[in-house]
Amino acid sequence: MIRALTAFVEELRAVGVPVSMVEAIDAAQAIEHLDLASRDALKSGLSATLVKQARHLAAFEAAFDVFFGTATPPGEQAAAEFAQQAAAAGGAGGGEGAEELFEAIAAALNAGDEEALRELIRRAVTELSGLQPGRPVGGRYYFYRVMQRLGADRLRLRLLEAVDEDDPLARRIAEEDIAALIEMLETEVRREVVRRLVADRGPEAVARTLRTPLLEDIDLMHATREELANIETAVGPLARKLATRMAQRRRHGRKGRLDVRRTIRRSLQHGGVLLDPSFKPPRKSKPELVLLCDVSGSMATFARFTLQLTFSLAAQFSNVKVFAFVDALDDVTRFFGPGRELGTSLQQLSSEAKIVWQDGHSDYGHALDDFVRDHLSKVTPRSSVLVTGDARSNYREPRVEALAEIAQKARALYWLNPEASRYWNTGDSVMARYAPYCDAVREVRTIRQLERFVEDLILPASPAQRAVALAHG
């Protein structure tokens, strides 16, 4: 059991779930007091000791099903042997019995016969998945193959046929019950597929193919609608955590300049030996932030989360100015701020801001010219300028001299690019021409990368800390 727990913890760490050595020891001690025959008890105990944030539960559950949810119950040994024989023969996978299975599963769901349903699920995986020993295919492929051939949507409609359409309340309740039944069916099919794969390949190999990326590691540019909604919900707590860290780092920042007089006076207590140097308290001031944000179609998703995080952190800056652009640039600070809802602010930005000049395609050069001409006075030696965008200017003049003028006035200039770095400087990307004028250029495609950027570069730090951060940029 300890060996399985160790492998399980290593898998969680590989996915990105932070599990310390102390937490792993706590989990091992918890197991001693759990009924290992109860899957739910084991799952509850391990999640209580190993998972600290709700957004990590999906990754935990996926790994748990592989390492602890795949044992074959004694009463299912014959069915397991039958499945192994079918797999050894190359896997049926033809789907000839799909219609018969569909009818039988619908009847079992209607009757609430769990034993019959489990037997039918084992048969469905054997006949419809095409699972073969040693074949390097991920478990998701086999799961979707089974569900596609069974027809989950068609099954839902079949179960709804018996519902009284004249009673809206009864139909609504029935729809929720049926949705729960279909979800239970999918869960059991997934577990059966995983059980077969683990028996064939071992849990570590299967876990690698079934890894669920953490919310903070999902690519913002390719996230589904559901993932984007979850990410947006997570940005608020993330911003609060970052704000707390920023405040703590500012309070406990590096010491100020050496106070020579006090140091010499203190040394008199030790015969003139400088054992206890004294420092003047540092002047701690909040920095200013100027954000230049590409909100064109390709950058809209990334811009949304950049703006949300920026204004959640606004209290840690003495002044925040936001400028949005497509092929023209406008000051949109008025649309954001305390008490404003992000959705409403973004709607106002798209309908009222003057961010389109000609054809509505990105033109970084013209946008930078607009900023230098109309807003350069808002950049001071205390300002950190942050540009967010992919630096794809549709083969138009990039006007690097405008960016150089902004960099010369600012305390620091950073560029966040949500495009994979391997695609920079291909096609119409001019990232290499802008990079020399930036203190740092970062690939930021995930919430985790955005968090690291804020902690490393935006926060006031000592010259040594800033040099390290830039070196890792």
Does residue 115 lie in a domain region? yes
Helices 400-409 and 364-375, packing angle to 10 deg: 40
The yes-or-no verdict on residue 283 having pLDDT over 80 is: no
Which pLDDT score is estimated for 397? 93
Closest CA to 59 of 9, 126, 98, 99: 9
Which pLDDT score is estimated for 413? 93
Does residue 224 lie in a domain region? no
Q: Does residue 336 sit in the same domain as residue 465? A: yes
Cα Rg of the chain (Å, integer): 29
Which pLDDT score is estimated for 371? 95
The yes-or-no verdict on residue 399 having pLDDT over 90 is: yes
Which pLDDT score is estimated for 106? 83
Does residue 307 lie in a domain region? yes
CA angle 44, 47, 52 (to 5 degrees): 140
Can you tell me the distance from the alpha carbon of 303 to that of 318, in angstroms, rounded to the nearest whole number?
22
Q: Does residue 206 sit in the same domain as residue 341? A: no
* Structure-block tokens of residue 333: 């600070």
pLDDT in tens, 374-389: 999 999 998 889 999 9
* Structure-block tokens of residue 450: 């955005």
Q: Which domain holds residue 277?
A: 255-284
Does residue 222 lie in a domain region? no
Closest CA to 404 of 382, 430, 436, 378: 436
Could you tell me if 183 and 147 are in contact, meaning their C-beta atoms sit under 8 angstroms apart? no
Q: Does residue 82 sit in the same domain as residue 183? A: yes
Residue ranges of E strands in 242-382 = 288-294, 319-325, 329-331
* Structure-block tokens of residue 38: 């109860």
The yes-or-no verdict on residue 115 having pLDDT over 80 is: yes
- According to DSSP H, which parts of 318-377 are helical? 342-352, 364-375
Is 358 in a helix, a strand, or coil?
coil
Q: Of 76-85, 101-110, 256-265, 431-440, which has the strongest mean pLDDT?
A: 431-440
Q: Does residue 7 sit in the same domain as residue 96? A: no
Q: Does residue 54 sit in the same domain as residue 99? A: no
Q: Does residue 21 sit in the same domain as residue 44? A: yes
User: Higher model confidence: residue 319 or residue 458?
Assistant: 319
Q: Does residue 174 sit in the same domain as residue 40? A: no
- At 252, the pLDDT band (50, 70, 90 cuts) reads low
Query: Count of domains in the chain?
Result: 4
The yes-or-no verdict on residue 61 having pLDDT over 80 is: yes
Which pLDDT score is estimated for 75? 40
Mean pLDDT of 219-231: 80
Mean pLDDT of 164-188: 81
The order of strands in the sheet holding 412-417 is: 329-331, 319-325, 288-294, 383-388, 412-417, 440-443
Which pLDDT score is estimated for 282? 62
Q: Does residue 203 sit in the same domain as residue 245? A: no
pLDDT in tens, 308-317: 777 777 766 7
pTM over 0.85: no
Which pLDDT score is estimated for 416? 92
The yes-or-no verdict on residue 366 having pLDDT over 80 is: yes
Which pLDDT score is estimated for 363? 93
Q: Of 214-223, 314-323, 397-406, which has the strongest mean pLDDT?
A: 397-406
Is 434 in a helix, a strand, or coil?
helix
Does residue 217 lie in a domain region? no
In the block, residue with structure tokens 């950190």: 384
Which pLDDT score is estimated for 446? 87
Residue where a domain terminates, one of 48, 67, 86: 67
Lowest pLDDT segment from 172-181, 189-198, 229-238: 229-238
Q: Does residue 168 sit in the same domain as residue 292? A: no
Does residue 221 lie in a domain region? no
Q: Does residue 263 sit in the same domain as residue 189? A: no
- At 293, the pLDDT band (50, 70, 90 cuts) reads very high
The yes-or-no verdict on residue 432 having pLDDT over 90 is: yes
Residue where a domain terminates, one of 67, 97, 120: 67
Q: Does residue 421 sit in the same domain as residue 451? A: yes
Q: Does residue 100 sit in the same domain as residue 12? A: no
Q: Of 40-54, 250-264, 338-352, which has the strongest mean pLDDT?
A: 40-54
